Structures are given as structure tokens and as C-alpha cells.
Structure 1
């Protein structure tokens, strides 16, 4: 799994090709990929928000209580995995429309591998500096979108033109998921998952 992580960051095209040539059993072991890599941003942000904190202007460092941060980071981890599963299902569901052969596992794996930059760069949570984290986050999202557009035609074995339309449809679903996450976060805050700050 590690070779796929660094391969997608350094030489994505050839890495997608080697992923598409994996045997079925090797391919299905990649279902562990999102479960393991989703831990990186969750653990990083737990540490950063409880031990380092962040500042606004010239004020004091703001930190979350350990209980509050733990609750939020567990929900964050579950949300990452659930979103990749839902997005992977939609990749499978739309595959017939674009002339691709797929399974739900294949859809989840493609989405999880495309999200690699977001997992890796999620480590910025160890040092929560707003402007730096936003900048790195934007780069990670752009790289993940690029990986999705590059990977779907290769792994699904469809022409690039059809793969572009397929990837665009997946991005549309991802944006709807993002809105659902934002609404869900507001609802969960009302039900007791709001952050609690240290004094």
C-alpha cells in the first residue's frame, strides 16, 4: 500500500496503470487503504487542537479539551470513511452509463486512492496555522481532483473523453456530499458535538 501512496504523489499516471493491472485479491486488499490513511488527519488534528492550539491575531493560544477533540476527531474519521464508501458506491452505480465494468469495491478503492493527497497533507493538523493549513488544503484538494480525472479512465479502462465526463459526474456527487457534511456538522453541534475550549 505504501508504494501506491508515494507513487500517486510522484508519478501518478504510471501508478494508476500498475493499480489497474493488480489481481482481484490484491486489488481488494486496498479496501484497507482508507481505513488506515484516514487516521493520519484525525490523529494530527487531535494532537494539534489539544496540545498546540491556534491563535487569532495577537491573542492567546486556543485549544480544545481532550474529550471534545476526541469526540470530534472520531466523528471526523467516521465521516472520511463513510464519504469514501458513498462516493465509491456512486462510482459503481454510474459505471454502466459510461461503459465501464465496476464493483462497489472498485469504486471505493478509486476514490480512496484519489484522496491520497488529502490524507497525507492532513498531517498539517499537527501544527494548526490557519493560513498555512488552508493553503496546503487547497493544494491537496486540487491534486486529489487531478488524480480522480487521471485515474478513472485508466482503472475503468474507458476512453479519456468518457472518463472526463465520468470524473466530472463523480465531482458533482462529491460536492453534494460536502454540503451534506456541512449540514450534518451543524446538526451534530446542536446534539452535543460542539467544540469545548480550554480556559
Structure 2
């Protein structure tokens, strides 16, 4: 089953990383995981924006039109997948510096499974209130960083101390990618290419 590691990453992450390392699924398997799990934030963003309405402060809920929400959901889906691939490429590129020689599939597994909690946090959009989404997102991001720090030494087969520095470098790259995605979003919205249309 494509999503069979999700429960293990929450219940017993160290053992699950060991299982992932022992199996080393194919590139297609990891890609399937990303393609499925990235649907969650895109679908939830669409559903909450069109049917539930976002509460920002004390005013009335804000709704988007169907067409606008679909366009933003598709753009989000593409950006999330591109972000995971970019992070896995950067992790692969930096690996030799830290004495690791992983395949691209290994770094893709690392990026895919560490990003899973952040993607799954999108279920919080069933209650689309800004403060709640931010709180759930911060918890999910913290757990993703924890998964990264625990997964790097196991998947990359390097000592914990070197893995800590490697994981810190990957976190830095992830933050840079996040800023790039946010900047691209702001540019697209400002120029009216993917700007929201309120209903």
C-alpha cells in the first residue's frame, strides 16, 4: 500500500525510518506517495474556500468563487510537488559534503516522508479559522523537522552528529524554498495571474 508508512511515522518514527531504509522502495513508489499526499492541502484549500469560508478576525467568513479556488488549488498542488522535488534535489546535492552517498530515490523518500505531517495538517481546514490553522501548521512543521533530524542518520547512513548538521542544512534549504514559493505567490497574485476572486 502506498501510504503504509504514515501511521508508523507518527506512532514509532525511529522504527519506521529503519523499515523505510531496509525496503528502499522505487522512485515510482515515492512519487506516488507525494502525488497522493499533496492532494490533501489542495483539496482542503478548495473545499474550505468555496464551501466553508475562511474566518479572518471578527468579520464575516470570506468565500472564493469555484473557478478561482480551482485555479489556486491546482497551482498549490504543482508548487507542493515541485517543492518536495527541489528539497530532495538539494539534499542529494549536499550529501557528499557530509560523507553520505544516497541515491536520488533515498533523498526523495526523505523529503516525501518528512513533508507528510505538514501536508496532512491541511485537514485542519475543516475549521478554517486563521489562528487555528496557524497553530496546527506550527505543530505539524515542528514534527516534520523532528522527522528530518531522526531520519537523516538512518537513511543517509551517517553518524548522528554529522546527520544533525546535514539535517540543519536541509531545514535551511526548506525555509529558503518556502520563501521562494511565498514570493512567487505574491508576484502571481499582485499581477493578477492567480489572484483570488471573492464571491
TM-score tier (shorter):
over 0.9
Task: Work out the CA distance in 2 between the residues paired with 1:13 and 1:166.
Answer: 18
Task: Work out the CA distance in 1 between the residues paired with 2:26 and 2:12.
Answer: 19
Task: Work out the CA distance in 2 between the residues paired with 1:66 and 1:127.
Answer: 19
Task: Work out the CA distance in 2 between the residues paired with 1:68 and 1:175.
Answer: 27
Provide closer, same or farther for how the CA distance between residues 170 and 56 of structure 1 changes in structure 2, counting only shifts above 3 A. Answer: closer
Q: What residue number does 2:87 align with?
A: 87
Checking the alignment, whether the CA contact within 8 Å between 1:45 and 1:126 is kept in structure 2 is no
Task: Work out the CA distance in 2 between the residues paired with 1:58 and 1:176.
Answer: 33
Task: Work out the CA distance in 1 between the residues paired with 2:157 and 2:62.
Answer: 49
Q: What residue number does 1:106 align with?
A: 106
Checking the alignment, whether the CA contact within 8 Å between 1:8 and 1:116 is kept in structure 2 is no
Unaligned runs of 5+ residues in structure 1 are none
Q: What residue number does 2:137 align with?
A: 137
Residue-pair matches, total: 196
Structural mapping, 1:37-76, within 5 Å: 37-76=37-76
Q: What residue number does 2:165 align with?
A: 165
SS state at 1:107 partner? helix
Task: Work out the CA distance in 2 between the residues paired with 1:58 and 1:182.
Answer: 25
Unaligned runs of 5+ residues in structure 2 are none
Task: Work out the CA distance in 1 between the residues paired with 2:131 and 2:57.
Answer: 12
Q: What residue number does 1:30 align with?
A: 30
Residue deviations 1:16-59, cap 9 Å, x none?
00100014xx3432221111100011101100010000234443
The Cα shift of 1:126 comes to 2.8
Checking the alignment, whether the CA contact within 8 Å between 2:9 and 2:16 is kept in structure 1 is yes
Give RMSD over aligned pairs: 1.2
Residue deviations 1:38-82, cap 9 Å, x none?
001110110001000023444322101111111111111100000
Task: Work out the CA distance in 2 between the residues paired with 1:192 and 1:95.
Answer: 37
